[in-house]
Each structure stands twice: as structure tokens, then as C-alpha cells.
A = this chain, B = another copy of it.
Amino acid sequence: MIDAGRRVRAASSVALPPGFRSRLLEGLTPSEIRAVLAVARQRKISPNEVLQNEGDPTRHLFLMVTGHGAFYKTTPEGDKLFLRWISPGDAFGLATLLQTQPQPSFTTVQALRGCSVFAWERVSAHALASQIPRLRENTYTLATDYVRSLGDALAARANQTAEQRLARVLVDSARHIGCAGCAGIEFGLTNEQLAQMADVSVFTVSRQLSEWQSQGILTKSRKKIVIRAPERLSSPPQQK
């Protein structure tokens, strides 16, 4: 209706897929959502593309629509620490919403396979946040969640064994990027990717997966893991 007079904009504009839910937009009125989407751009992301590089100023606010990505932290020595998965509905680059000046981002965000995202320029995002109080509140909530998962990642590194960290990675991956197959939840990751994410050597991954396979907890083949009994991955460490 508002867009009646500018069909060109409307045509190139973006729309939410049916059934799409995002905590970023939760509780916003339809007209607010329209205002937000009006200044968004839809982008296709190729596999492994880096959307945000740790240290670079945050240029965009992103909302994952389809596909998956991951937050990483790069250490001074250069290796990547996996922090958490990004799934459809997750937003990142939240700093754009709050900060007046662009600030270096703390994490790298990389697409796993192809993705489709909504993107907002920093200034547009900031303007939206200043106009829509509910958007600011949602941002606080989401930022809080990210800090919490950063904290969890820290706790996990600090005092968990290689086995526990690997189990955590498997469970998280199953939850976020897994598809329910006939034999369990399956997802495609190489030993090397798992090794990076859990911060263990590929050898440890290989050995541990073999052991779990022999216990019937999972099945592995080349570049693919099928988790049969996720509950047996989360509990045993505590018993010990």
C-alpha cells in the first residue's frame, strides 16, 4: 500500500518466506516489519564465503534466511576457534544496530554451504534501531544470548576433555545442521572440520569416532556422520 507508487522498489524488495520466524523481528508490528524489510537487500552467499571478518569494522546487519553459517574467533596465532552455528532466523552484525561508529567485530562469520541472507547497511540498521524500540530490545536479548554462548564456549574449552568437546560439537552440529535420516540425525562434516571445531587433532577425532561407532552411538562414512543416539553423547562425560 505504501509502496503503491514505487513498484520498482517493491519488486526488488524482499519478503519473508512463509513460516519464517526470527527473534530479531519478534513482536514488531506488521508496519514496523515492512519498514525494516523495505531497506533490506537480499543476498546469495556462496559456500565458505566470509560475511564478516574478525577485526574488520562491522558494515552490515545480516539475517540468515536459508542455509547455515558459523561464528569463529581467530587467535593471534591464526587458528580458528569455532564458537557456534548460525541457523535460519539468526541475526548477526548486531553492533550495527546499536553503535554510532563502526567498531571492529569480534568474530568471523563464514557460510557453510550456499546461503541466502538479508543484509542492511550499517546506517540503515542504526536508523531502524533508533526508530523502533522493540527492535532495540530484541537486539539486547540476542546480544545477551551471544555473550552467553561465548561464555559457554569458554567454559567448554577450559575444563573439558577432548572427548567432551568433540561430543559437544557433534550434538550442536546435529541440532543445527543435521537432517533427520532413517538411521538418525545426519550431517556432512569431515574429520578435519570436526577437529577444528572441537580443537583436537584429526587423529583424536578419528579414534574417538571409531570408539563411538563401535558402541553403536553413531555411524560414520566419508564426510558424513549419522548420530544414532545423541543422548549417549551428552550424558556419559558427567557420570565419569
Contact = CB atoms under 8 A, between A and B. Distances in A.
Interface string A146-181: 011011011101110000000000000000000000
A148 B106 CA distance: 7
22 contacts: A73-B151, A73-B154, A76-B155, A77-B159, A81-B154, A81-B155, A81-B158, A95-B144, A98-B140, A99-B140, A99-B141, A99-B144, A103-B144, A106-B151, A107-B151, A143-B143, A147-B147, A150-B150, A150-B154, A154-B154, A157-B157, A159-B199
Contact of A154 (B100, B137, B143, B153): B153
Q: Which residue, of A79, A147, A154, A199, has the highest number of chain B Cβ atoms within 10 A?
A: A154
Interface of A: 73, 75-77, 79, 81, 95, 98-100, 103, 106-107, 137, 140-141, 143-144, 147-148, 150-151, 153-155, 157-159, 199
Contacts of A141: 99
A138 B198 CA distance: 36
A126 B141 CA distance: 15
A100 B139 CA distance: 12
Contacts of A199: 158-159
